[in-house]
Chains A and B, each alone.
Chain A
Amino acid sequence: MNKLSVDWWSVILAFVATALVLTGAMPHIPW
């Protein structure tokens, strides 16, 4: 966490969550 900037962490986390949605591993997200 210390070596990467907050910017990069936000991109990584968003990509991981998107990959989970794409693979169907994440349940449907309601709003």
Chain B
Amino acid sequence: MNPAVTQTTPQVAAAQGGFFRMIPGILLLAIIGYAGKVTEQSISAYGKAHHTALPNIEYVLWAILFGLVISNTVGIPALFRPGVDTYEFWLKIGIVFQGVRFLLGDVLKLGSASLVFVAIELGVSIALMTWLGRKFGLKPKLTSLLAIGSSICGVSAIIAAKGAIDAEDEDASYAIAAILALGAFSLFAFPAIGHALGMGDKAFGMWAGLAVDNTAEATAAGALFSDAAGKFAVLAKTTRNATIGFVVLGYAIYWAKQSQAKHIANKGAFLWQKFPKFVLGFLVISLVATLGAFTKAQMTDVANLSRWAFLLTFAGVGLRTDLREMRKQGLRPFVVGAVGEFAIAGLTLALVLTAGPWLGF
């Protein structure tokens, strides 16, 4: 089975042996992330000292690459796993801190614009994935998981849906492997396409947030393009994440009607349970910033806290990507995912490029 499914959540790790079990892995994330930052700074300082124009490779990419090398050569020793699995926790904290960089009015304006894009993206990707799944003869529940993973937010959506639609572990492993492999590809492909097309920070950030599946990869793809693009990628992706409950509920009702999943009695409670709470945290911090509670220096401090939290996340993205494990999962779900993702990336790019100028990006 794919370790991505069996991975220890921080809660489980805490229950199994307390917070202390997570410390070695968290330190590893910090060391790898910091090594990425030092590498970027060292290359830039070397270029300046020798008056040479060296390519500016962001710390984001270095942190991911260092993580990838470790996980795909020596692997992650068991001692470090509980802490490494906290990378999503740092991502969520980083997103809450990002609220300081947005005035609430901008969140509502850009959020509602991206909500329209998200609605189109959701409809098209669910329809497309369902059609592709049938065409390639994938199991119906695997198709559902792939559709959910590609339309909303990757791994967490698949894990949320797995329980709700009673899917098998193996199907979840397949769907997660496909989404993660495509996420890794998007990390490198999206910034290259964005630069080739001469996209602006806002437009690129919105595109990455709409089209890259996993929240960590979407944030990293945005940050790889530019700091400002990273900010907009987080906003668009957070809007997409907020819809997770509705989509998973829709699938749960569908499979319950087929008598292949449990009925959901209290739909309101289900929606609240699946709603990503860090979105609320993001909005609260944005509200506090809008009310003028922060000085300029304090806003910089909170934004820097977000950067440090993301540093741990990006190291985790590399460490968590096990290419050997992905190869074992077989080609068909990956092909379905890839065909669907290319179409979704193209569609969202067209949306952003055509509607963007009217919306001011």
Contact = CB atoms under 8 A, between A and B. Distances in A.
Interface of A: 1-2, 5-11, 13-15, 17-18, 21-22, 26, 28-31
Contacts of A17: 93, 97, 302, 305
A17 to B, nearest CB: 6
Contacts of B302: 17-18, 21, 29
A5 B89 CA distance: 10
B284 A29 contact: no
B89 A31 contact: no
A29 B93 contact: no
Contacts of B92: 6-7, 10-11
A9 B280 contact: no
A26 B293 CA distance: 16
A1 B97 CA distance: 21
B97 A14 contact: yes
Contacts of A1: 10-11, 14-15, 19
Majority secondary structure, A binding face: helix
Interface residues of B, number: 32
- Per DSSP, chain B at the interface is helix
B305 A7 contact: no
B9 interface: yes
Contact of A29 (B14, B15, B308): B308
A9 B301 contact: no
Given A10-B89, A10-B92, A14-B285, A29 B11 contact: no
6 contacts: A1-B15, A6-B89, A7-B278, A11-B280, A13-B93, A29-B301
B304 interface: yes
A29 B290 CA distance: 21
Interface string B295-320: 00110111011011000000000000
Given A14-B97, A14-B281, A29-B308, A7 B276 contact: yes
